[in-house]
Amino acid sequence: MKLILSLALTVVVASTSMVIAGGHDGNPAVTARKAHMQLYQHNLSILGNMARGNTDYDAAAAQAAADNMVALTTMSQAGYWLPGTTNAELGDETRTLPAIFGADSTARTIGADLAAASVALAAVASDGLDAVGPALGPVGGACTACHRPYRARN
């Protein structure tokens, strides 16, 4: 009985840790930060598509996307930007360059710029395209400002 119980427990623990790790072999920190980036991309492109006229402007959808940007920039990312998880150690699995963890890294400042730009965007997201368009620039600018020095080219 004891043996069966402990076997059952082992199975539960093993399958739980598979779920936590994302169910595949990738480095969990890399998986998590890429997911965070994908959520930036998803929400920003909703607004970008409206600004470019690819989709109709929808105040509620614009506000929701901008609010999501604010929420994303407010989350702590400390658990998945870890030294030792750059392309120097993990190769092609990640495009994060070691310089992002250097003593003179500007990544935190750029992250703060993105947060401020997202708050400014959310403040006008329901006010129509003439207000949204100009507010998108500083948000996209912060993405590029970090990718240029700290993300390896494809």
> Is residue 33 close enough to count as binding ligand HEC by CB under 6 A?
yes
State the nearest-atom distance from the C-beta of 97 to ligand HEC, in Å.
7
How far, in Å, CA of 98 to CA of 127, rounded?
41
- Of these, 110, 121, 122, 136, which contacts ligand HEC (CB under 6 A)? 110
Pick between residue 114 and residue 132 the one whose CB is nearest to ligand HEC.
114
Structure-token match 């009985």, residue found: 1
Stretch that binds ligand HEC, among 52-60, 121-129, 130-138, 141-149 (CB under 6 A): 141-149
- Tell me, what amino acid is at 153? R
Q: How many other CB atoms are found less than 10 A from the CB of residue 126?
A: 15
Task: Tell me how far apart the 2 most distant CA atoms of the chain are, in Å.
Answer: 70
How far, in Å, CA of 135 to CA of 129, rounded?
10
- Of these, 50, 65, 114, 122, which contacts ligand HEC (CB under 6 A)? 114
Residues within the interface to ligand HEC (CB under 6 A): 30, 33-34, 37-38, 40-41, 44, 94-96, 100, 107, 110-111, 114, 139, 142-143, 146-147, 150-151
